[in-house]
Amino acid sequence: MGVKLIFAFNLIYCVCFIGVCLAALGAACSDVRTMTIPNVCSVVIMGLFVIGYGALALSGGVVAPWWSYVSSLLIVFVVTLGMFVVGAIGGGDSKFAASCALWVGLKGLVSFLLVMMVVGMVLAVFALVLRNRVVFARVAPDSWVGRVQRGESAIPYGVAITSGLFAGVSAGGGLGPLMAFFY
């Protein structure tokens, strides 16, 4: 396979990864603003994985076998589905976490979960500090800060999931094709 073709496939992967970053950041912002994560973000992230992984497979630059990524998705989905059933997280959080886990694979899953947990704890502490206090006077009533200032228990876990995604992809080797452009 020619160098130009390999470059083109790596470029497709990079464009897909940038799209995933934008979709994840959009989901995190939406979660902070409205405490909801649009389903379209999860669907876009999964669709871009199929395109990006396919491009890497065609270039011979696959970091791990496909079942590693699908296993990661299934593990996270089963665990977060259980958390949704008991009311610990919302359905959007469950779908979003599973779609992000697809990008980290088994190799980056521990980093994904660890960073997600730590950022979630930081958000929880911040929510406890804000609870029942009007620290920010001009906030939207349906936003995370607005809800917490009214005394509701709310955490925009999309922020933690997005942070975990970036850490998990980095730890799982998913940034390798991106780094190829700098060498």
Per-residue pLDDT tens listing for the chain (183 residues): 677 888 888 889 889 999 999 999 999 999 999 999 999 999 999 999 999 999 888 888 777 888 999 999 999 999 999 999 999 999 999 999 999 999 999 999 999 999 999 999 999 999 998 887 777 778 888 888 888 888 888 899 999 999 999 999 988 777 666 665 554
Name the residue range of residue 52's domain: 3-182
- CA–centroid distance for 18 within its chain: 13
Could you give the CA distance from residue 110 to residue 115 in angstroms, rounded to a whole number? Answer: 8
Could you give the CA distance from residue 17 to residue 69 in angstroms, rounded to a whole number? Answer: 15
* Number of separate domains in the chain: 1
Cα atoms found within 13 Å of the Cα of residue 135, Cβ hemisphere only: 14
Strand runs labelled E in 33-118: none
For residue 156, what are the CA distances in angstroms to 34, 147, 168? 9, 11, 19
Give the model's pLDDT for residue 177. 62
